[in-house]
Amino acid sequence: MKILGGYPSLRLRRNRKSTWVRRLVEENNVSVNDLILPIFVTEGKNKVQEIKTMPGIYRYSVDKLSNVINKASKVNIPLIAIFPNTPKSKKDFYGSEALNENNLVCKAIRKIKKNNPKIGIMADVALDPYTSHGHDGIIKKKKVLNDETLEIISKQAILQAQMGCDVIAPSDMMDGRIGVIRKALDKNNLKDVQLLSYSAKYASSFYGPFRNAIGSSQKNKINKKTYQMDYRNSNEAIREVALDIKEGADFVMVKPGLPYLDVVKTIKDNFKIPVFVYQVSGEYSMIKNAISKGLLDKESIIESLISFKRSGASAIVTYFALDIAKKLTS
């Protein structure tokens, strides 16, 4: 880029001297329209459980979901994402609970659609909340099987869509999943259901608090690195996204967020498709704990969200969504 002008005739600080002029020349900002609120659901009744690893975040029994959904609707958050804390008694080696029309996600979708029909609902497609081994797919001979997993998660996607889910979000990272799920949805007269692909989901150390929140932990020596992406790679993300777009993805996701802003920008620049980013549990907890200890101030939350927008993100899945939406609409 050619720089026009120079010091002393050009003084860039002139456009920073006052609040009003800084507002006029802002290049990026966050609005409520950018926010997706993740919500954890748990078994039982009359339950609101604080998640110790994620300060200020709670698990809700289905009958208590209205507490948080009504708040999200009031501040006009467009989309919420449902994640289940499946009881150990309902987990098995094959993740059978994923196909139960009365599992936590399905019950939550029906409840929300009945009471808050205008808010969008997103649900993950993956088996890790339902498997006793904590992996996203079917295991055989110490391997996570790709094609056998596709058969099950396509049924899971159909079930969630039939319950009223608006956005199906495959997060399993199996090859070919978007094409298989898109065909299954179309075949079952669910053509209007959207697909958000976790296209660039990295094998990351930032997921720990989330896995605690949903009660998912690996109990074998099989590594998720055999299907989630290597954090050293960025060109690989381009290939993943290209394949998912070709197979029918309406949006794509980068997860985690802050360590992968370069990936967000590269995808946006190359494909001009809506790119979502997930500010994951580890990112949230780091910022939240630093604020509570006085190491950061609350402005760091907005700063982190702006960085996503600056890199090209169309929307942000963030546990800060409700607090930020309240601030933006007050």
For residue 262, report the phi and psi dihedrals to the nearest 5 degrees.
Answer: -65, -35
Any residues with CB less than 8 A from the CB of 318 and at least 6 apart, and which? Answer: 35, 36, 37, 38, 278, 279, 284, 305, 324
Any residues with CB less than 8 A from the CB of 63 and at least 6 apart, and which? Answer: 45, 46, 111
Which uninterrupted H or E stretch holds 194? strand 194-201
Cα end-to-end span (Å), the chain: 40
The single residue listed with the structure tokens 């904590």 is 134
| Rounded Cα gap, residues 27 and 312, in angstroms | 12
Which uninterrupted H or E stretch holds 234? none
> Is position 142 annotated as part of the catalytic site?
no
CA atoms within 13 A on the CB side of 319: 25
| Rounded Cα gap, residues 100 and 105, in angstroms | 10
> Is position 201 annotated as part of the catalytic site?
yes
Q: Which of 255, 268, 288, 309 is catalytic?
A: 255
Q: Which of 201, 224, 288, 309 is catalytic?
A: 201
Question: Which residues are known to be catalytic?
Answer: 201, 255
